[in-house]
Structure 1
Amino acid sequence: MGGFRLSRRISGGELLVRCLLEEGVKYVFGVPGAQLLTILDAIKRIGEPRGLKFVTCRHEQAAANMADAWARVTGEPGVCIGTVGPGGANLIPGVYPAWADGVPMIVLTAQNQTWRSYPDHGSMQALDQYHLFKPITKWNVVVSHWDRIPELMQHAFRVATSGRPGPVHLDLPSDVLYERKDEGAVRVYPPYRY
């Protein structure tokens, strides 16, 4: 055969999971939802063999409480995830105590396609999660491009653990999570020890 290598295309969800693995995350707490499937698939395929587990919770508040407890016990940021609209909103009661007590937490929410969610069109499943989380997070961002996932994830961990620790929030539109690009298009860098 020829001397060329076929490149592999990966989803934004897989890219995000690679970032979590680089940060040494062991658990992601959450409730499955359609917009999260690309992340959950990547956790199963590439995360579990490397020690990253998804813990299915009965309610998103419990997921945030578990991430909070993980961070308080280990000193490592807890990671929780919620799906669009009510799923993201249900994380709030569990994120607020982490904000009040200075506990490092990475809060990930799935979102509908970018064009359906920002600006807000008033749909229950296209909730403006950015403004919902803004008052109770140290840093908050809508991830609008696939290739920014590694940079924004690394920044999220840095902010969550620096100075007075606290929760950070990344809102992930489904068009970004499901977009597929060449795995060589961006690099996932090892974390700085913040």
Structure 2
Amino acid sequence: MRLFRSLPLLLTVALTLFAPGASADGLYQVETILFRQLGEAPATPQRAPEHWDAGANRVTSENQRSPALSAMVDKLQASGQYQVLLHRAWQQSIGSEPSVMAVTDGQGQFGHYPVEGTLSLAIGRFTDYEADFWVNQMDAHGVLVSSERLKQSARIKNGELTFLDYGSLALLVKVSPL
């Protein structure tokens, strides 16, 4: 008889243990810092594709948040070894299915920005993260001349600052539940 009274509790515990992704859906703050490591040779120049943000939601003023890693940006810039290219923070609903956000910095011209990229996030026990950023060089008329690319994926722990290295470009990422 005692077993039947404990059964709902046992089922709840079992479901929590065997379905960790089911409780992971929710609202998160995502923060990224894209920077250049001075002294490193840039990757082979190429051009960002015309539809670099295909199917992605945009970081807008409605979902943008105050960055929490400003002290880290100050340290990077003060070292003289790094050039910070982009620092953004936003809130985003993340679940077990990948959610893609487009992030930009600078004045856009002809569909491109000086810094542009997409971030794909999916939450389970860890956060699966795919970054695809372009640092673009444009001529005086705003036409894209060349691009440097950072394409990296990782599995990161929620709430921890993670460093992704890609030659001359690097990315710091933090995904925290709100």
Q: How high is the TM-score relative to the length of structure 1?
A: 0.28
1 or 2, which has the higher strand percentage? 2
Structure with higher Rg: it is: 2
1 or 2, which has the higher helix percentage? 1
Q: How high is the TM-score relative to the length of structure 2?
A: 0.30
